């Protein structure tokens, strides 16, 4: 019943394009509410993201010549975005690598100019649609899955069974605007 009410609220909020960014933020808040990991794990992930973002922003080259997003689930870091050169991509990786408590880093930073605000809004919309579909899917433990979209590429992160991974990948592939789905899962089986 809670999932139905949540889905209904999200659907109503998502009816106008003007609400895309707010809905994405709301969906992110919903993900936190339904994340069943221990608070200690959540805090470790949050601290990793904060520290990595602070170090990236402190570097003048990265701040002005790249657009980098840092995401973390269960101490696994996903770097997405764009950098103007391979050297900047490597620099971002090396800086994030110094952050404590990281188990693994996936560097998916593309070598190109930063995406437009319109593309970033579209990515947020794609993420929201995927999360909404996941919440509505009976039997899917969507609280164990983090969805990140960058330039139409969807990254699925989390601690899941192979069956749960396959269900979530199939949901993401069917959403309009998705170019490709990348799995960044840790498997429980």
Which sequence spans correspond to the domains of the chain?
2-34+117-187, 39-111
- What is the reported pLDDT for 38? 85
The CA distance from 22 to 28, in Å, is 10
Contacts of 27 by beta carbon, 8 Å cutoff, 6+ apart: 10, 127, 128, 131, 132
Contact 88, 65 (CB under 8 A): yes
What's the mean pLDDT in 95-121? 96
* Confidence at residue 32, expressed as pLDDT on a 0 to 100 scale: 44
Contact 81, 27 (CB under 8 A): no
pLDDT the model gives residue 103: 97
Does the pLDDT at position 82 exceed 50?
yes
User: Rounded to whole angstroms, what are the CA distances from 68 to 23, 47, 49, 54, 61?
Assistant: 22, 17, 12, 12, 12
Element (H, E) at 21: helix 20-33
pLDDT tens by residue, 138-181:
999 999 999 999 999 999 999 999 999 999 999 999 999 999 99
Q: How confident is the model at residue 5 (pLDDT cuts 50, 70, 90)?
A: very low
Q: What is the mean pLDDT of residues 37-59?
A: 95
The answer to whether 147 and 172 have CB atoms below 8 angstroms apart is: yes
Vertex 73, ends 131 and 10: CA angle to 5°?
Answer: 20
Residue 170 zone, left/alpha/beta (φ > 0; ψ -120 to 50; rest): alpha
What does the pLDDT read at residue 23? 40
Please state the rounded mean pLDDT for residues 111-133. 95
Q: How far apart are CA 76 and CA 104, in angstroms?
A: 5
CATH number of 39-111: 3.30.1340
Q: Is the pLDDT of residue 29 over 90?
A: no
């Amino acid at each position: 019943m809670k999932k139905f009410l949540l889905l209904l609220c999200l659907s109503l909020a998502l009816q106008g394009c003007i609400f895309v960014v707010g809905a994405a933020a709301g969906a992110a808040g919903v993900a936190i509410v339904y994340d069943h990991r221990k608070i200690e794990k959540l805090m470790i992930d949050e601290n990793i993201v904060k520290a990595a973002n602070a170090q990236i922003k402190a570097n003048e080259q990265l701040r002005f010549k790249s657009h980098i997003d840092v995401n973390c689930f269960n101490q696994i870091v996903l770097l997405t975005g764009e950098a103007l050169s391979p050297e900047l991509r490597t620099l971002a990786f090396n800086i994030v690598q110094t952050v404590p408590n990281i188990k693994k880093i996936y560097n998916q930073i593309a070598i190109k100019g930063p995406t437009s605000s319109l593309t970033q809004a579209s990515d947020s919309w794609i993420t929201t649609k995927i999360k909404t579909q996941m919440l509505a899917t009976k039997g899917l433990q969507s609280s164990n899955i983090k969805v990140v979209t960058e330039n139409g590429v969807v990254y699925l992160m989390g601690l899941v069974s192979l069956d749960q991974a396959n269900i979530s990948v199939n949901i993401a592939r069917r959403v309009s605007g998705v170019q490709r789905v990348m799995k960044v899962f840790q498997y429980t089986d």
